Amino acid sequence: MKILYRISDSGYEKEKPPYVNNKECLKNATDVFYRDCDWTVIADNISSDTKHMILGFQSNIEDVSVGHGAGTFNLALDKALTFDDEDIVYFLENDYLHLELSPLAILDGLCFGDYVTLYDHPDKYWEPMFGGNPFCKGGAEDTRVYCGKYSHWKITNSTTMTFAAKVKTLKKDEEILRKWTSSTHPDDFKMFLNLREQGRKLVSSIPGLSTHGETKFLTPLIEWDKVTARLF
């Protein structure tokens, strides 16, 4: 599996729990994605201190000066498209935590979908009037659920820019992926809706095996503070 990890010292202002920061998230990802994983860290405008921190976990670093997430995603996509068609790529942002089964679960999820997310976004269980996903009605989105080897998987309409897919899928979908990441901020919601319109299937593990680090949007049902303590 190819891990394309994007990290920056800047970013959008978000409320995050104290255990979600550049160091803890990279350490968690390194601890979880270590076996048969080929890492590249795309480091955008990082300080010498951050560079030193990364080198404590990963050595393959590409220093860039882009200044926004859409640009670094496109650099990651450029690299992904050079890999073999059957390779699996995990695009990973620097504010995620994972459970130990995550690598096996990605392989499992790709048996059911073209794209895989391990993040069970809580907005899929909120009504739109309360800030939930526009397709959420009655506390859920219309979906289909599969039973995999390591997780249940539901078809979902969208996720963030942290996701996995095979290279051959990325090559076929390059135009759509580029279209919605052509500005400074990726429009992940519209990107995945566009992919769905083209017949692509995005599946999400339930319960989630990963979480985005924003306090309001942590994957439900997992005590993430204890996960970090257990893994570390």
Residue 231: predicted pLDDT: 56
Average pLDDT over the chain reads 95
Cis peptide before 186 (omega within 30 of 0): no
The secondary structure element, H or E, covering residue 71 is helix 69-80
pLDDT at 220 over 70: yes
Q: Say which residue the tokens 């005590």 belong to.
A: 223
pLDDT at 155 over 80: yes
| pLDDT bucket at 232, cuts 50 / 70 / 90 | very low
- The angle, 0 to 180 degrees and rounded to 10, between the axes of the packed helices 48-55 and 22-32 is 20
C-alpha neighbours within 13 Å on the C-beta side of residue 109: 32
Residue % of the chain over a pLDDT of 70:
97
CA distance 49 to 215: 26
- Supply the pLDDT for residue 38: 98
Q: Given phi > 0 = left and psi -120 to 50 = alpha, else beta, which region is 89?
A: beta
Q: What is the pLDDT of residues 78-119, one digit of tens each?
A: 999 999 999 999 999 999 999 999 999 999 999 999 999 999
Round to whole Å and give the CA distance between 172 and 190.
Answer: 18
* Mean pLDDT, residues 191-195: 98
pLDDT at position 59 is 96
In this prediction, residue 230 carries a pLDDT of 63
More confident residue, 145 or 130: 145
- Write down the pLDDT at residue 229: 65
Any bridge partners for residue 116, and if so which? 164, 203
Which of 8-12, 15-19, 125-129 is least confident?
Answer: 8-12
Domain count, the chain: 1
Residue 46: name the closest of 92, 4, 3, 7 by CA.
7
Which CATH number goes with the domain that contains 108? 3.90.550.10
**220 lies in which domain range?**
2-231
Model pTM score: 0.95
pLDDT band at 13 (very low <50, low <70, confident <90, very high): confident
What are the start-end ranges of the E strands in the chain? 2-8, 38-44, 61-64, 88-93, 96-98, 115-117, 136-137, 140-141, 145-147, 152-155, 163-166, 202-206, 210-212
